[in-house]
Amino acid sequence: MAVADTIRQKLTAAFAPSVLAVADESAHHEGHAGHRPGGETHFNVHIVSDAFTGLTRVERQRRIHAALDAEFRGGLHALSLKAQTPAEAGRG
């Protein structure tokens, strides 16, 4: 299974998002730290979930990183994150 699919599955299970977009941006990081042939090392994630209500930006990121711990240990190098509540995203 592609890393992007695994990220989608795990974030969906952990946060039941109303919006989830996962983009592989590995090609933009060729020659940088953590890049490897075949990509799947650098991702951009936009997630909107009620689960983030009352959490700071840092706590949201910590929870997302915890949900993806196995992927980070397996070669995922970087996530660019935008984690919002529905109200912050204009959906609530």
Q: What are the tens digits of pLDDT across the range 34-90?
A: 545 556 788 999 999 999 999 999 999 999 999 999 999 988 888 999 999 999 998
- pTM reported for the whole predicted model: 0.84
Backbone phi, psi, residue 76, to 5°: -65, 125
Model confidence over 11-38: pLDDT tens digits? Answer: 999 999 999 999 998 765 455 555 455 5
Q: Where are the domains of the chain?
A: 3-84
Q: Residue 46 in contact with residue 32, Cβ under 8 Å?
A: no
The CATH number of domain 3-84 is 3.40.50.300: no
